[in-house]
Amino acid sequence: MRDGPGRYVLKRGARAWFELELGVARRLRRLRGRPRFELAGECRGCARCCEAPSIRVGRVLWYFPTLRRLFLRWQRSVNGFELLRAERQGRLFVFRCSHFDWESRRCDSYASRPGICRDYPQALFDQPWPQLFEECGYRPRDRVGDALGTALQNADIPVATRRLLRKKLHLE
């Protein structure tokens, strides 16, 4: 399902609002200190993030049926996200994207993709311990992990174990 001119304009406006709100939220978080993780690596084009995009919502949207219906209608009609399931734990909506082509593993509306698609995986770094797909070329790098990395380097443990720990602790 490609975007027509009307939907494209609507999505551009929504994206501008998303980016403004996101920028303000991140600046406010930075005032409290640097984020623990930084983005490392690059996109390998695995498209795992496109298979089932998910959106975590606040309590108000989750518990008020009218707001929830409006949100889901927006996701369906503007972003092309069809609801697959709602996960009560974590207040998470999991979708199927109608713009994702499973054969080519590409987005047919890449230029007008929603903000959550543009912000992946950076949005995960707002979590205490970001987990990315194994196939993803991006990875979180712990900004405060240098001392731990040095301790691991000096520890009397097998090299394979050291490598695994460095990866699992986001030190690379």
Domain boundaries, the chain: 5-168
Q: How far is CA 36 from CA 28, 46, 55, 87, 118, in A?
A: 15, 26, 22, 27, 21
Q: What's the whole-model pTM score?
A: 0.72
Residue 130's pLDDT is 85
Give the helix, strand, coil percentages of the chain, each rounded to 5: 50, 15, 35
pLDDT tens digit string along 22-44? 888 888 888 887 777 888 899 99
Q: Which helix (H) or strand (E) holds 56?
A: strand 54-56
Question: Rounded mean pLDDT of the chain?
Answer: 87
Q: How confident is the model at residue 1 (pLDDT cuts 50, 70, 90)?
A: low
Whether 142 and 149 have beta carbons less than 8 Å apart is answered as no
Residue 58's pLDDT is 92
Angle between helices 146-154 and 159-168 (to 10 degrees): 170
The answer, yes or no, to whether residue 104 has pLDDT greater than 70, is yes
List the beta bridge partners of residue 54.
94
Whether 15 and 115 have beta carbons less than 8 Å apart is answered as yes
